[in-house]
A and B are shown apart, each in its own frame.
Chain A
Amino acid sequence: MNAFSEARISRRTLLSALGAGAAVTAAGPLLSACSSGGGGSTSGGSVTSEDRLTALLPSYSPIEYAAPDLPGVQGSVPGYTSYPGELIRAVTETPGTGGEVTAMTPAYWPLAPSDNAYYRAVNERLGAEVNFSVVNGSDYAARLNAQLAGGEMPELTVIPDWDVPARFGEAVGGSFTDLTEYLQGDAVAAYPRLANLPTRSWAYCVWNEGLRAVPTPAGLFPLALYHRHDLFQQAGLAPPQSADDLYRLCTEITDPDAGRWACGNIFLEVKRMFSVPAEWSRDSAGNLVNEAETEAFAEAVAFMARLFEEGHVHPTVAGSTTGQEKELFESGALWLFSDGMGAWQEALARQLPANPNFDMRPFPAFSHDGSEPVYYTQEAANLMTFIRSDLPRERVEELLRILDFCAAPIGSEENYLVNYGIEGEHSERGADGAPALTDLGSREITITYGFLAKPPYIVDQSQYPGYVEAMHAWEAEVAPFQVDKLTDGLRIEEPPRLTGLVQQLDDQLQDLLRGRRPVSELPSVIEGWRRDGGDEMREFYAQALDDAGR
């Protein structure tokens, strides 16, 4: 765990986070017309020095309540093939002072009932009644925008990195507490579980030269291309080793008469297979190039468009925006789909009780032509928890103690309580000690406290046979091929006038992928993108990256 946490902290990583200040500074002239002192510091900032950033971040102080069975490999996360038998009480004092705490989190699953024994149990240990405002994940960005604009924030606000509102740099100063003085350097020692979070994830929470949030550390990779391993074995199919292999697999799988299609919209993984650079990269002459302008991207578009055209993509996916891919994959209506790493254990939890043979796995590392594959790492934190700005010091400290409780790692009573509720009521331990949710637990426990703060990412959930071993083995296999994006760790806020460009380009790409326009029109789409602001965006990024020393 320690190796994972600290191996990736280097001069470059620190400079990455340092770019947070630099990039926003680059946006300054574009935003200065509409920012004010109260709204943040997006205009007129200066490049943060490396010393300043080092002083800003909390000191890393690892804790381990239970040793992993499988250590991390080349930066991959450690695995626990069994659940610790003995749990220690990590938080000995009651974090809360008895009042109510308001919090807003997203949910990507059905909501738990509000009259909930699990909430009561955790609140009792916390010494505070956390009143969650749980918002449907697909509506979360809109809700955040509206609440930020209206200045009506709860005490704790969780913001996923995929839902950071536009102009957030202007909002963060006025809306949320600067946690620097509470957590920087050795001050974090008051919150030992927070001090256990990787420094790289803290750097991601730097906004306007201040530590503004508590991070939820992310896993190493954002996505994988999953396949139905059980169905593959029945059909005698082997994983692909090239683009041709993948195409051949799709043709073998697709059989509409049998109600079976090869895949969902796997374009992101097709891009990875063709080694398309993530977002921005430098060409051999050092010029900044958008991913859409590369030859690899054109190949990826042509490949995916072919899958759509020949009917290998499930018609329900092709005929909707959201696609219901999870359900179709789990029911066997499609055999390949792309999703985040968390999707794996979520699917196992849903399917194993009814179908013990259900087995999904990511494809082993491969590229389109058999060369060394590229797997882009994801940002070091994928969720951030902000504390409202108008709270007195004692209240901020209380909230940090609550977050510290939620971040307790595996091997502690607190971790068990947050994830599995009360033993014997919400969960039962199996013969091997692995906890499994009871019916009550399944109804009442969804990720709520776990969104407020989390310990460093690990692979556990040993109650699903073979899962920990398979996940750990995949990460260990793929870890040598990990590559950081050019903009990794940078806090880049694009000019509001250009933020629509990504959506505009994606809309047109969907037309090409889904056969509404011929793929041969890709060059004109890219030309239009350049004309409508793509070149301006390139200049903006070039400035930001130059300032960040990239």
Chain B
Amino acid sequence: MTLHAAEPAAGASTQAGPREPVPPSRAALRRADRRRRFRRDWPLLLMVAPTILVLGAFHYLPLLGNVIAFQDYSPFVGILESPFVGFANFERLFGDPDFWRATANTLGITAFQLVFFFPVPIVLALLINSLLSARLKLFIQSVVYLPHFFSWVLVITLFQQMLGGAGVVNNFLRRNDLGVIDLMTNPDTFILLVTAEGIWKDAGWGMIIFLAALSTVNADLYEAAAVDGANRWRRLWHVTLPALVPVIVLLLIMRLGDALSVGFEQFLLQRGAVGVNASEVLDTYVYYEGVVNGDFAYAGAAGLFKGVVGLLLVLGANKAAHLLGQQGVYSRS
């Protein structure tokens, strides 16, 4: 039937003189374009393939493991054998006051650190950037980012040695009959303590990315501003800060995505000193329920909840950044 239908067309074509070119279909064009791009880009694709494989194997495939949040999961019989229990783990989770206490602590610490910790690396970067001596700049930079490489055990031990009941500060106060201050065991000031520890350990490290952003600012802009009569504050306000804004927004969004991950070791190590009411955060809650108590399904539900909230926060913050005219973490175009 196809042959019969095609015959007149072929005959008509021969009778009508020179054949007019038939435009290729859109699909054919797409295929050709794809082939052309593949020929052009295959070295790049080859280079990126291992990363894609690693991402798939270690980041996306394990996401399937979240199914245990809907099971009465036993690691010893496996996912396939463990029975499904629907939303029972979530019902138990949302009815558990300890879970809500951990969530409240986590959000409280995140909010506090967003205000009091997040700006510190920016200020530090601006201060170091304003130094004229390159050698001094390098020295201070090295000193302030070194603590990032210390373990939390060491950081907390150092704080204990300084601020603990038998530490340097309290020994000094005691010898001078000034009483003692209880900073390491006071649940009421724990949020200040963990933020101080975090700043001491990581503010220098966080500063590096802002210093990198500052190094890209065109020096001509400063000179032009100076010629126009701008003093140091004006130059900071109109040249330096606008250069940092995209980086600040980017890091802020990424920080929001991690809003429910305030840390683990730092809180686990100080749990006994200040008690669970102050120190239990979602990460330690998941650890105790899952690894210590062996209730992996329940801990899986808590972890999934944490992940979903983090995703929503990133999407929301990114959208807000777009609305404010910033590029955000990613955009459709």
Say whether A associates with B.
Answer: yes
**Can you list 19 pairs linking A and B with CB atoms under 8 Å apart?**
A33-B72, A35-B76, A38-B77, A39-B77, A40-B76, A141-B291, A145-B294, A171-B75, A257-B174, A315-B165, A315-B170, A319-B273, A320-B272, A321-B271, A322-B269, A496-B293, A500-B289, A500-B295, A516-B187
Question: How many whole Å from A493's CB to the nearest CB in chain B?
Answer: 10
The answer on a CB contact under 8 Å between A165 and B294 is yes
B187 to chain A, nearest CB (A): 6
Does A514 belong to the interface (CB within 8 Å)?
A: yes
Q: Is the CB of B270 within 8 A of A149?
A: no
Q: How far is the CB of B241 from chain A (nearest CB, A)?
A: 41
A165 to B291, CA, bound (A): 9
For B171-206 the 0/1 string (1 means CB < 8 A from A) is 100110000000011010000000000000000000
Most chain B Cβ neighbours within 10 Å, of A141, A499, A507: A507
Establish whether residues B165 and A319, one from each chain, have CB atoms under 8 Å apart when the complex forms: yes
List A residues 97-150 near B (Cβ within 8 Å). Answer: 141-142, 145-146, 148-149
Answer whether residue A193 sits at the interface, using C-beta atoms and an 8 A cutoff.
Answer: no
Report whether A516 and B277 are in contact in the complex, using a CB–CB cutoff of 8 Å.
Answer: yes
Distance in angstroms between the alpha carbons of A175 and B77 in the assembled complex = 11
Closest to A311 in B: B165
B172 to chain A, nearest CB (A): 12
* Residues on B with beta carbons closer than 8 Å to the beta carbon of A314: 165-166
Q: How large is the interface on A (under 10, 10 to 19, 20 to 34, 35 or more residues)?
A: 35 or more
Q: Closest residue of chain A to B72, judged by CB?
A: A34
User: Given A320-B273, A333-B166, A516-B187, A166 and B294 touching (CB < 8 A)?
Assistant: yes
B164 is contacted by which of A34, A39, A166, A316 (Cβ under 8 Å)? Answer: A316
Q: Name the B residues within 8 Å of A357 (CB-CB).
A: none
Assess whether A342 is interfacial by the CB under 8 Å rule: no
Q: Which residues of chain B are within 8 angstroms of A174 by Cβ–Cβ distance?
A: 76
CA–CA, A259 and B160, complex, Å? 15
User: Assuming A315-B184, A316-B164, A500-B293, what are 18 further A-B pairs, CB within 8 angstroms?
Assistant: A34-B82, A35-B74, A36-B81, A38-B81, A39-B76, A141-B291, A149-B75, A170-B76, A257-B174, A315-B164, A316-B165, A319-B160, A319-B184, A321-B269, A496-B294, A499-B294, A500-B288, A516-B187
Distance in angstroms between the alpha carbons of A504 and B276 in the assembled complex: 9
List, in ascending order, chain B residues with CB within 8 A of A38's CB.
Answer: 77, 81
* Contact of A10 with B by CB under 8 A: no
Query: How distant is the Cα of A314 from the Cα of B273 in the complex, in angstroms?
Result: 12
| Interface membership of B83, Cβ < 8 A | yes
Q: Does B258 contact A (CB under 8 A)?
A: no
Is B156 among interface residues, defined by CB-CB distance under 8 A? yes
In the complex, whether B292 has a CB less than 8 A from a CB of chain A is yes
Q: Is the CB of A510 closer than 8 A to any CB of chain B?
A: yes
A510's partner among B76, B164, B275 (CB-CB below 8 A) is B275
Contact, CB under 8 Å: A141 / B270:
no
Of listed B174, B187, B275, residue having the most chain A CB within 10 A: B275
Closest residue of B by beta carbon distance from A496: B295
In the bound complex, how far is the Cα of B266 from the Cα of A320, in angstroms? Answer: 11
User: How many residues of B are counted as interface, with CB atoms below 8 angstroms from the partner's CB atoms?
Assistant: 42
Do most interface residues of chain A lie in helix, strand or loop, or is the interface mixed? Answer: helix
Residues B77 and A170 in contact, CB atoms below 8 Å apart? yes
Do residues B270 and A320 form an inter-chain contact, with CB atoms below 8 A? yes
Q: Mark B274-314, 1 if CB is under 8 A from A, else 0.
A: 11110000000000110111111010000000000000000
Contacts of A507 in B (CB 8 A): 271, 275-276
Q: A256–B76 contact, CB under 8 A?
A: no
- A495's closest neighbor in chain B, by CB? B295
Q: Which of A3-62 contact B (CB under 8 A)?
A: 33-36, 38-40
A497 at the interface (CB under 8 A from B): yes
Tell yes or no: A349 within 8 A of B by CB: no
- In the bound assembly, the distance between CA atoms of A35 and B77 in angstroms comes to 6
| Shortest Cβ distance from residue B16 to the other chain A in the assembled complex, whole angstroms | 73
Specify which chain A residues have a CB less than 8 angstroms from the CB of B164 in the assembled complex: 315-316, 319
Instruction: Please name all residues of chain A whose beta carbon is closer than 8 Å to the beta carbon of B76 when the two chains form the complex.
Output: 35, 39-40, 148-149, 167, 170-171, 174-175
Which positions 302-327 of chain A face chain B at CB distance < 8 Å? 311, 314-316, 318-323
Of the candidates A321, A323, A504, the one whose C-beta lies within 8 Å of that of B270 is: A321
Q: Are A145 and B185 in contact (CB under 8 A)?
A: no
Cβ distance A536 to chain B, nearest Cβ, rounded Å:
14
B90 at the A interface (CB under 8 A)? no
Closest 9 CB pairs of A and B: A315-B165, A166-B294, A149-B75, A321-B272, A319-B184, A34-B74, A171-B76, A170-B76, A500-B293
How many whole Å from A321's CB to the nearest CB in chain B? 3
Q: How far is the CA of A333 from the CA of B165 in the complex (A)?
A: 13
A234 within 8 A of B: no
Q: B52-80 vs A: 1/0 string, CB under 8 Å?
A: 00000000000000000000111111000
Report the nearest A residue to B272, measured CB to CB. Answer: A321
Complex interface bits, A50-91 against B, C-beta within 8 A gives 1, otherwise 0: 000000000000000000000000000000000000000000
Residues of the A chain whose Cβ atoms lie less than 8 Å from the Cβ of B75: 145, 148-149, 167, 171
Cβ B269 vs Cβ A320 within 8 A: yes
A511 at the interface (CB under 8 A from B): yes
Whether A503 is near chain B, meaning CB under 8 Å from some CB there, is yes
B271 nearest in chain A by CB position: A321
Contact across chains for A167 and B277 when beta carbons are under 8 A apart = no
Contact A39–B185 (Cβ < 8 Å): no
Taking the nearest CB of chain A, how far is it from the CB of B242, in angstroms?
A: 45
Residues of B within 8 A of A33 (CB): 72, 83
Q: Give Cα A175–Cα B74 distance, bound, in whole angstroms.
A: 14
Instruction: Check A499–B275 contact: CB distance below 8 A.
Output: no
Task: Decide: A503 near B288, CB < 8 A? Known: A165-B294, A319-B184.
Answer: yes
**Residues of B contacting A36 with CB < 8 Å?**
77, 81
Q: How far is the CB of A304 from chain B (nearest CB, A)?
A: 14
Contacting residue for A145 out of B165, B170, B291, CB 8 A: B291
Query: CA–CA, A174 to B75, complex, Å?
Result: 12
Instruction: List, in ascending order, chain A residues with CB within 8 A of B156's CB.
Output: 320
State whether B295 touches A39 (Cβ < 8 A).
no
Alpha-carbon gap, A261 to B164, bound state (A): 14
Contact indicator A511/B166 (Cβ below 8 Å): no
**Complex CA distance for A499 and B294, rounded to whole angstroms:** 8
Which residues 239-269 of B sit at the A interface, judged by CB distance below 8 A?
Answer: 268-269
CA distance A175 to B78 in the complex (A): 13
**How many angstroms from the CA of A511 to the CA of B82 in the assembled complex?**
37
Residues of A within 8 A of B83 (CB): 33-34
Known: A39-B76, A167-B294. A320 touches B277 (CB 8 A): no
